[in-house]
Structure 1
Amino acid sequence: MPTYKERGVMFPSDVVPRSNLELLKTFDIRDDDIMLITYPKTGSWWLHQVVKQIMAQQGVQDEKYLGDFPNFIEMTLRDKGPVAEMIKTAPSPRVLATHLPVEFLPPGLLGSKAKIVVLMRNPKDTAVSTFHFWQKIPDVKTPESWESFAEQFLAGDCLWGPFYDHALGYWKLKDKHNILFLKYEDMKKDLPAEVKKLCSFLEKPLSDEKVQTVVGATQFDSMKKTVGEKRQMFTRKGVIGDWKNNFSDDQSRAYDEQYRERLSNTGLEFQFE
């Protein structure tokens, strides 16, 4: 897969051509849009499924824009073209998604009334999930080894940019915009509580019974059974702490040191087990 860098951020040329980034500069945001923001392999598909189920419980079931896969606004789909063009005329409320760092967002998003949900995951599990994901994609050069990939991720030489640049770019907006921050680890440990938090933020209240329906449909094991063969690459273990099965002691110490350096005095913390 060929890549290029735009403003220091690496993108896959075939999936996110430069023309798509230009297209987003004039992408119209609606006040009732819901934007789901994730760094790759931090729970993008899971969050989309939860929101899809919440919408379904409120009677919204239009598969044209609430399909099985998030509508990543920066991407081009094979044989369909840029997602940003495809969803221009989609009915409201649109559920959109992106992996983009904050500086690449459509200019009108942060000043709008659109709901912005940012889901984050600890960097060690994110690195491991990314490593295994790329091994499943035939168009991508498989990392030579976990050792080389761990160094690459630590150095920030990753698609969609360095992990901490992405996370902190959004975290710095926490007091200024209409943003809900969720953690992958919190969703794993208490999904009902996180679903209720999401419902409240989206202003789509559900009864306890309907919340349980959403939870039942979006527990990891339930989704893995129903996702279908084409989407199996997006689901692996879905656990907290799988990094322990991959990291050496030296790698763990290096990641811990970077964690302390980048997040010290920011108020942003992650759970690693």
Structure 2
Amino acid sequence: MTYYKERGISFPDTFVPRSNLEHMKTFDIRDDDIMIMSYPKTGTWWIYQVVKQILASEGIQDEKYLSNLPNHLEFTVPGIGALVELFKTAPSPRVLTTHVPVEFLPSGLLGSKAKIIVMMRNPKDTAVSTFHFYQKVPEMKTPESWDSFVEEFLAGDCPWGPFYDHVLGFWKLKDHHNILFLKYEDMKKDLPAEVRKLSSFLGRPLTEEAVQAVASATQFDSMNKTLVGQKIDLQTRKGVIGDWKNHFSDEQSRAFDDQYRDRLSNTGLEFEFE
């Protein structure tokens, strides 16, 4: 795997060729699109499954060309090609995902009626999940050690850019009428409540029975059991809050805490860590 930088952001060229980023600039957004934005390993696949279940409650099913993987607009998938090109002719409603920072989004997105979901997770658990993901995926650069990875994460030397630059880029848009912010920790603590919030935001309110059915189908533990042995299981691991305690030294935890206070002070954005 080799990486290149665009606007100072590192991208893996096998998955995200420069041409895909160029195509994204002029990607035609439809008013009924559902766009999921997230930093890598913050619950993208999970919220994607919740959205799919909400749509399925209305009888809307995936087309054959859609896989169970999140459909990252910036990706090229072997045997499929550039997803940004594939989705130009996809039927509506399209559920699209991306990890790119806000400055790489299609130019017409914020002026459209498309629903934008921003998924977030605390930085310590995000770092742990990313570290283990890189170890499982041969196409990504394997960290030399946990200690070296922590240093890289703190320095922002990560694919798709520094964590705080990424989340704050979206957080600045929090007052936009078509953006909903969701947090991994809230979903873990009360998934039915987040399903209600999300279905209402999408303009597809569910009965209480349907809410419980969606929540039951997308509980992390139950979904994980069905994925064992499948390629998609690379997308999931423990799915818990606070696993960072099993990895961070006291010094590393303090360094993350210092950066957290420095970057998020007076922004109104906060995360839970346990």
Percent identical across equivalent pairs? 73
- 1:101 deviates by 0.2
Provide the secondary structure at the position in 2 that maps to 1:144: coil
Name the amino acid aligned to 1:48: Y
Query: What CA deviation, in whole Å up to 9, does each residue of 1:165-208 have, x standing for no partner?
Result: 00000000111341000000000000000000000000001111
Q: Which residue of 1 is the match for residue 18 of structure 2?
A: 18
Q: Which residue of 2 is the match for residue 232 of structure 1?
A: 233
Please report the RMSD computed on the Cα atoms of aligned residues, expressed in angstroms.
1.0
Name the amino acid aligned to 1:256: D
> TM-score scaled by structure 1?
0.98
1:73-112 matches, cutoff 5 A: 73-112=73-112
Equivalents in 2 of 1:234, 1:88: separation in Å? 25
- 1:65 deviates by 6.2
- 1:227 deviates by 2.6
1:138-217 matches, cutoff 5 A: 138-217=138-217
Equivalents in 2 of 1:16, 1:64: separation in Å? 23
Q: Mind listing any 5+ residue stretches in structure 1 that lack a counterpart?
A: none
1:241-260 matches, cutoff 5 A: 241-260=242-261
When structure 1 is superposed on structure 2, of 141-150 and 185-194 the one drifting more is 141-150
Provide the secondary structure at the position in 1 that maps to 2:73: coil
Name the amino acid aligned to 1:218: T
Provide the secondary structure at the position in 2 that maps to 1:37: strand
Q: Which residue of 2 is the match for residue 130 of structure 1?
A: 130
Aligned residue pairs total 273
Equivalents in 2 of 1:140, 1:94: separation in Å? 28
Name the amino acid aligned to 2:268: G
Name the amino acid aligned to 2:247: N
Query: Moved runs in structure 1, 4+ residues, more than 2 A?
Result: 62-67
Provide the secondary structure at the position in 1 that maps to 2:199: helix
Provide the secondary structure at the position in 2 that maps to 1:56: helix
- 1:72 deviates by 0.5
Equivalents in 2 of 1:3, 1:67: separation in Å? 26
Equivalents in 2 of 1:177, 1:106: separation in Å? 18
- 1:67 deviates by 3.5
Provide the secondary structure at the position in 1 that maps to 2:88: coil
Q: Mind listing any 5+ residue stretches in structure 2 that lack a counterpart?
A: none
Preserved CA contact (<8 Å) 1:110 1:177: no
> TM-score scaled by structure 2?
0.98
When structure 1 is superposed on structure 2, of 216-225 and 128-137 the one drifting more is 216-225
Equivalents in 2 of 1:43, 1:64: separation in Å? 24
